[in-house]
Amino acid sequence: MNIRQQTETICASLKPEDTAIQPVDYVSPPKWHLAHTTWFFEQFVLVEQCADYNVFHPDFGYYFNSYYNTLGDRVVRADRGLMTRPALNEVLAYRAYVNKHLALFLDKGVSEATARIIEIGLQHEQQHQELLLYDIKYIFGHQPSFPRLEYQIQLLPETVQPHFVKIPEGVYNVGHKGEGFCWDNELGQHKVYLHDFEISNRLVTNSDYIEFINSGGYKDFNLWHADGWDFIQQNKLAAPMYWHKVNDKWMYYTLQGFKALDFSAPVSHVSFYEAFAFAQFKGMRLPTEFEWEVASSQFNYGNVWEWTNSAYLPYPKYAKPDGAIGEYNGKFMVNTMVLRGASVATPNNHSRPTYRNFFNPEMRWQFSGIRLAK
Amino acid sequence: MNIRQQTETICASLKPEDTAIQPVDYVSPPKWHLAHTTWFFEQFVLVEQCADYNVFHPDFGYYFNSYYNTLGDRVVRADRGLMTRPALNEVLAYRAYVNKHLALFLDKGVSEATARIIEIGLQHEQQHQELLLYDIKYIFGHQPSFPRLEYQIQLLPETVQPHFVKIPEGVYNVGHKGEGFCWDNELGQHKVYLHDFEISNRLVTNSDYIEFINSGGYKDFNLWHADGWDFIQQNKLAAPMYWHKVNDKWMYYTLQGFKALDFSAPVSHVSFYEAFAFAQFKGMRLPTEFEWEVASSQFNYGNVWEWTNSAYLPYPKYAKPDGAIGEYNGKFMVNTMVLRGASVATPNNHSRPTYRNFFNPEMRWQFSGIRLAK
Amino acid sequence: MNIRQQTETICASLKPEDTAIQPVDYVSPPKWHLAHTTWFFEQFVLVEQCADYNVFHPDFGYYFNSYYNTLGDRVVRADRGLMTRPALNEVLAYRAYVNKHLALFLDKGVSEATARIIEIGLQHEQQHQELLLYDIKYIFGHQPSFPRLEYQIQLLPETVQPHFVKIPEGVYNVGHKGEGFCWDNELGQHKVYLHDFEISNRLVTNSDYIEFINSGGYKDFNLWHADGWDFIQQNKLAAPMYWHKVNDKWMYYTLQGFKALDFSAPVSHVSFYEAFAFAQFKGMRLPTEFEWEVASSQFNYGNVWEWTNSAYLPYPKYAKPDGAIGEYNGKFMVNTMVLRGASVATPNNHSRPTYRNFFNPEMRWQFSGIRLAK
Amino acid sequence: MNIRQQTETICASLKPEDTAIQPVDYVSPPKWHLAHTTWFFEQFVLVEQCADYNVFHPDFGYYFNSYYNTLGDRVVRADRGLMTRPALNEVLAYRAYVNKHLALFLDKGVSEATARIIEIGLQHEQQHQELLLYDIKYIFGHQPSFPRLEYQIQLLPETVQPHFVKIPEGVYNVGHKGEGFCWDNELGQHKVYLHDFEISNRLVTNSDYIEFINSGGYKDFNLWHADGWDFIQQNKLAAPMYWHKVNDKWMYYTLQGFKALDFSAPVSHVSFYEAFAFAQFKGMRLPTEFEWEVASSQFNYGNVWEWTNSAYLPYPKYAKPDGAIGEYNGKFMVNTMVLRGASVATPNNHSRPTYRNFFNPEMRWQFSGIRLAK
């Protein structure tokens, strides 16, 4: 239950008001995360497998289901921010109640199938821990007082001496073998043919990115996808999310507050479009997800998720799991791009070289950066 | 300061989470109301007139200005719901600080001009007390748990024996003479010529309105303005706001919770379009604001604001006041309709027969009902 | 039938392509006007009153009904521009066919009721002749080649020596007595009480308006209604429709082509918001529609329609006519402002001092200008 | 020039009105296609390479450039439908003029580079011939009179005995070798590793698709991508484009007019989302573009383009060509899915097994159908 505790640790310095709002559709109220991850255990473990369990509140299943159409009606995603109730303290009581009953249930010993559900629940909670940090950053970073979060995460400088790693042409194995936990979308180790390529051992830094901005990167349509160009025009974008130019000096909001840009840190909070345009500007390209996976043992990663030039698509033997779990990954396999690696917001041991993260190409609130290939 | 205290009394049973959200543009977070009404006194009295006053927080002027462009930058209205900070308890501390300094300032005696500003501030706060009740009702009435508010207001049954009062043709005086407090938009008593008319001594009840619904009132375009017909089609409206048909029985959300419709209460939460269509259905019309004012001594009012068929326009001698106060009323004199009377949410002594309330014709979250004329 | 012929005269220099498009919802394809005005006679005279009449085409009633819900299904307004068929030459054949049958029908003599319908049909066609000129101007004025129309209309310079006419306080009669043709919305002569006012004998000119622009009129929110300010911000407006600044010189599109601004012509193609802001800038106001009507014998008008500060609302004894004709005026009596007078696009003898034109306050494609009052 | 002539042949039965409108952003006015394909030759051959050439009209370069930002200002795509001028007959004169000068220029003999540009121009014109048929179908299929086109294309019945072709696992070559014409996006023959798969020798027919509809395929969210589900909900889709249920019988608009559905024809005008959901319904999947290419010699194709489950992405050695031509393909390599094959609207010899067509997953106005794999 240390994993469950970590969710509360992240939120410890939030005020009740911070946990209630949904500033845009894709940012959920923090107290919704606290409740939804709890509902997962209540529903899939206690309700479904523990005969004498009494639900904490009969309506919470309806309130805190997320996108599992399989399980019936739910509050639509965009309306999560309308629910000021249950309040934060009730949600924390819900967590305590479910944790207690889960512990009692586990004490009796569980089947392998149940252990598997619990593992999924914990992995699921870890994913929400990461989303919580994105969402808290969005909430704090879009109000004039720029509050700071006491829970500490911080991007490290990219200090390694930069060079390009060469990988020879050939057939490679990619994907997860199925030993140890993995998501359905990684499963099915299979062969891919890769051609010669080179990949950088270092992420693009804020310093590199300022060069792109100063060279007019946001004004040269030749560098951009057509959709990317429309995206930056319509949203009047000329820098990563959270960057502000104050008195001719680049500042940014971080979870430590509003401060001067750290030039040696990896650039973060860029969309796929920006990552692509940056690579074009350098006369290079982004790696594919398979190039990344094959080369990943030859560089360090973990600061920010890394956009690849691979669309998020099913692996050759992909089979959607049955039931609600089956809605977790497969239905997003269109219009999204794969990110590989991990970020400082990713819980320890939650990532691995085969892990496939994915977002729409315009998303920027996650910790996402750039690694070049050629 | 009893008037100021009333704002806190209304909010006493709110949880911090309830006070932070802005579910739609026109509903402000309750803690914003608490702060904005305080900022009004801090800015227009203490900052402008009290030399040794230290502001509570240097950024609050920017945070809590509402639509006074005259006073410089402000958080745009639609973004009030992004500010989780300052939190509710800080806002309450702000109120206490300003109240204390205001009391000290008043003890020294104030000029007539300052007394006038303070009176405006209190009238302004009373208007926000009414808006607070609309906004709390919206916030509570649009979430699945339908919380109740401990502060009590309730629509009274319309029990009077209904008849139509006849008013003879002639020249009448309307508008405020300027003795005692009034808003700039009521000022300039002037003459209007009214033709013979009759006006009901009773408001339209929920029972009357159900007859309209059951007779297909929401499906007969002949009863509606073109814009009204578009409005109900696009928003799929077929009943007043807060009404829900559950198992073939009409229920509604009130500040006392979700309950069965009271048939004898006046219909409330209807738009101007619905009020107009209802009158068409009855073969009658809505009164003009001047008919209402002239006839108002002949019936009781105060349950709900009453839509008139008058557009909100300036009186003959209307002069926009100088400075920020001038932005209070005049700039809304287009695309809005006048409501007369008062509602159960209106603070005592805040209304009078010359009072001109106004809203866009599609608004429904206020306590607004229907009185017929012919 | 000279009136019918005039519609074709206006369109004589249009190419088939010009008659087919609907660049925005409120601009109808010219061939739609040609057909719709014909449908009016076919439906309300020939179909309803001439037993042996065979319709020109069984589907045209569906295609060319406009907003008469009473008559059943119709092509929704926004979809008029999808109908490339019937082509222009078919529409002209439809006109000829209906004209021929109408002439045959009239030769037999008609009842007073039928004569009344025909008169309405001709008045209706005259209104569409004016709309045609607005729509053609919009179509030609929003494409890079700025075509010219051979049919000639031109704004005259405002050359009268300007002064303000004084009108004394008192009870006045307004509205139409019902002798000769008028629309239902003018009917019911009735009394209004007017206070002392003064009204200009001259319209605001382009020269006057440039002073407003150059003085920063579009940048000073104090001059604008809140909705007007939002309107010009969102649409990035800083001049009347059809104005372009080329090499620091004001040019505009007219039906004679793209040319230098005529400084002495009345300003045209302004919204109500701009008219209001201009009046504020001059420290004056717009007249009400009743002030305008009472004073109208004391100045010339007819160059451009004149925005008043009156909302378009029913007169005291207003009764909506029965049937489809009843949808013509009454259902627009909300969210619109009254314009009085006439424009150079108005057919001869189509206007009169009691005529009530009306548009939404943001509309600018009509010939609309400004007369000041105080 | 037979290829150029074909464009005019397709348009021969269009009326001028049909050629002027742009009913939605992605459907261009037919006369725009006629002009734009001509402009391509005028600009890239005559203007750039023929010293004594006089342009037909100085503004046509601005009017008829499409999305080549490199060449400067252009009419934005969504505004093509505003240009009623130049009229159709002027556009046809433009075509004749450019054709004549092109012939004169070619008579003198051209360099290999120029011959390459001309070939691109002809291939480009062929692509527009196909788009013309989509656009004409859209224009005719979205108006109540459902006109027919005299130029004949027709989907053939899928009569082959259906079975699944098996392809063994291994390394395969895909992509174009560069001999003969191909687009930049096909270039770079390269190796891919394919796992065992089977692919149908027959397209999904209308009969098959009706089974999907009747089995509730449009109502079962489990079959759909999350984005696909949103797409069909928001657009209220329950059948392919152009299908209408009339008196319980399926009808559809074809270029031969409105008629009863042909059950044995391949289903067409489905989005990627629908193709995917159909495959899920059958317990199968769509092939990847490489599976399709490798297996393509083993079945017939050419009735409709076939959605693959491959996102449109660059090949390993992809290099964007320099200049305006470089904008042709590369900038669309995000948010689009690959279609393979050809359709009845595709000009003869325009397609080949390596050809990569691509559209956004929601597009349906093209002739697009479904081939199953497993």
pLDDT the model gives residue B89: 98
Asked whether the beta carbons of A341 and A306 are under 8 A apart, the reply is: yes
Determine contact: B83 vs chain A, CB below 8 A.
yes
C-alpha distance across the termini of chain A, in Å: 44
Alpha helix positions (H), C108-141: 112-141
- Judge whether residue C156 has pLDDT over 80: yes
Q: Which of B17, B59, B82 sits opposite A23 (nearest CB)?
A: B82
- Residue pairs between chains A and D whose CB atoms are closer than 8 Å: 79
Residue of C nearest to B326 (CA): C222
Structure tokens, A337 = 């791009």
The pLDDT of A162-181, averaged and rounded, is 95
Q: CA of A55, closest CA in chain D: separation in Å?
A: 27
pLDDT band at D319 (very low <50, low <70, confident <90, very high): confident
- DSSP label at residue D43: I
Chains C and D, touching by 3 or more CB pairs within 8 angstroms: yes
The pLDDT of C319-339, averaged and rounded, is 85
pLDDT digits (tens, 9 = 90+) for C34-44: 999 999 999 99
- Judge whether residue D354 has pLDDT over 80: yes
CB contact under 8 A, B195 and C192: no
- Judge whether residue B338 has pLDDT over 80: yes
Q: CA of A57, closest CA in chain B: separation in Å?
A: 11
pLDDT the model gives residue A96: 97
Question: What is the separation of C-alpha C19 from the centre of its chain, rounded to a whole number of angstroms?
Answer: 19
Q: Which A residues in the span 231-270 are in contact with B, Cβ-Cβ below 8 Å?
A: none
What residues pair up with A199 in beta bridges, in sequence order?
A: A165, A373
d(CA C81, CA C87): 12
Provide, as residue numbers in chain B, all residues whose Cβ is less than 8 Å from the Cβ of C232.
none
Provide, as residue numbers in chain B, all residues whose Cβ is less than 8 Å from the Cβ of A20.
16-18, 20-21, 84
Residue of C nearest to D57 (CA): C145
- Residue pairs between chains B and C whose CB atoms are closer than 8 Å: 78
Residue of C nearest to D23 (CA): C82
Element (H, E) at B231: helix B226-234
Of the listed ranges C62-76, C103-117, C250-264, the one predicted with least confidence: C62-76
Q: Which of B84, B144, B147 sits opposite A21 (nearest CB)?
A: B84
pLDDT the model gives residue D178: 87
| Per-chain mean pLDDT for chain A | 94
CB contact under 8 A, A226 and D332: yes
Cα separations (Å) of D12 from C55, D30, D148? Answer: 30, 11, 12
Of B57, B104, B89, B130, residue with least CA distance to B305: B130
Determine contact: C331 vs chain B, CB below 8 A.
yes
Q: Which residues does D229 contact at the CB level (< 8 Å), separation at least 6?
A: A331, D221
Q: Which residues does D177 contact at the CB level (< 8 Å), separation at least 6?
A: D189
pLDDT band at C73 (very low <50, low <70, confident <90, very high): low
Determine contact: A108 vs chain B, CB below 8 A.
no
d(CA D370, CA C181): 64
Structure tokens, A123 = 């992995």
Provide, as residue numbers in chain D, all residues whose Cβ is less than 8 Å from the Cβ of C81.
21, 23
CB contact under 8 A, B314 and C309: yes
The pLDDT of C159-176, averaged and rounded, is 96
- Judge whether residue A68 has pLDDT over 70: no
pLDDT band at C65 (very low <50, low <70, confident <90, very high): confident
The pLDDT of D106-118, averaged and rounded, is 92
pLDDT digits (tens, 9 = 90+) for B82-106: 999 999 999 999 999 999 999 999 9
Element (H, E) at D257: strand D257-260
Determine contact: C58 vs chain D, CB below 8 A.
no
Provide, as residue numbers in chain A, all residues whose Cβ is less than 8 Å from the Cβ of D67.
226
pLDDT the model gives residue B350: 87
pLDDT the model gives residue A73: 64
| Residue of C144 and B324 predicted with greater confidence | C144
Provide, as residue numbers in chain D, all residues whose Cβ is less than 8 Å from the Cβ of C30.
none
pLDDT band at D340 (very low <50, low <70, confident <90, very high): very high
ipTM above 0.85, yes or no: yes
Fold annotation for A164-369: paralog of FGE (formylglycine-generating enzyme) (3.90.1580)
Length of chain C: 374
Determine contact: D145 vs chain C, CB below 8 A.
yes
Determine contact: D373 vs chain A, CB below 8 A.
no
Q: CA of D238, closest CA in chain C: separation in Å?
A: 22
Half-sphere exposure of A272 (CA within 13 A, CB side): 27
Determine contact: C121 vs chain D, CB below 8 A.
no
CB contact under 8 A, C85 and D147: yes
pLDDT digits (tens, 9 = 90+) for A87-142: 999 999 999 999 999 999 999 988 999 999 999 999 999 999 999 999 999 999 99
What residues pair up with C285 in beta bridges, in sequence order?
A: C373
Percent of chain A with pLDDT over 70: 97
d(CA B229, CA B178): 40
d(CA C209, CA C282): 11
Q: CA of C147, closest CA in chain B: separation in Å?
A: 35
Question: Residue B320: how many CB atoms within 10 A of its CB?
Answer: 18
Length of chain B: 374
Determine contact: D86 vs chain C, CB below 8 A.
yes
Residue of D nearest to A316 (CA): D195
Interface test with A, best of D66, D335, D338, D362 (most A CBs within 10 A): D335
pLDDT digits (tens, 9 = 90+) for D55-109: 999 999 889 986 666 565 667 787 899 999 999 999 999 999 999 999 999 999 8
Provide, as residue numbers in chain A, all residues whose Cβ is less than 8 Å from the Cβ of B19.
17
pLDDT the model gives residue B1: 66
Determine contact: C228 vs chain B, CB below 8 A.
yes
- DSSP label at residue B335: S
Q: Which of D225, D285, D313 sits opposite A311 (nearest CB)?
A: D313
Determine contact: B317 vs chain C, CB below 8 A.
yes
Q: Which of A227, A313, A314 sits opposite D334 (nearest CB)?
A: A227
pLDDT band at C67 (very low <50, low <70, confident <90, very high): low
pLDDT the model gives residue B323: 72
Interface test with D, best of A68, A190, A193, A221 (most D CBs within 10 A): A193
Determine contact: D51 vs chain A, CB below 8 A.
no
pLDDT band at B65 (very low <50, low <70, confident <90, very high): confident
pLDDT the model gives residue C1: 66
Asked whether the beta carbons of D257 and D250 are under 8 A apart, the reply is: no
pLDDT band at C69 (very low <50, low <70, confident <90, very high): low
In chain C the beta strands, taken as DSSP E runs, fall at 164-167, 170-174, 190-194, 197-200, 243-246, 249-254, 257-260, 305-311, 337-340, 357-359, 368-369
Asked whether the beta carbons of B240 and B267 are under 8 A apart, the reply is: yes
Of the listed ranges B71-80, B189-198, C243-252, the one predicted with least confidence: B71-80
Residue of A nearest to B63 (CA): A144
- Judge whether residue C248 has pLDDT over 90: yes
Element (H, E) at B41: helix B30-41
d(CA B23, CA B16): 15
Provide, as residue numbers in chain A, all residues whose Cβ is less than 8 Å from the Cβ of B81.
21, 23
The pLDDT of D298-317, averaged and rounded, is 96
Provide, as residue numbers in chain C, all residues whose Cβ is less than 8 Å from the Cβ of D72.
none
Q: Which amino acid is at A135?
A: D
Q: Judging by DSSP bridges, how do beta strands D257-260 and D357-359 pair with one another? A: unpaired
Interface test with A, best of B32, B84, B136 (most A CBs within 10 A): B84
pLDDT digits (tens, 9 = 90+) for A22-47: 999 999 999 999 999 999 999 999 99
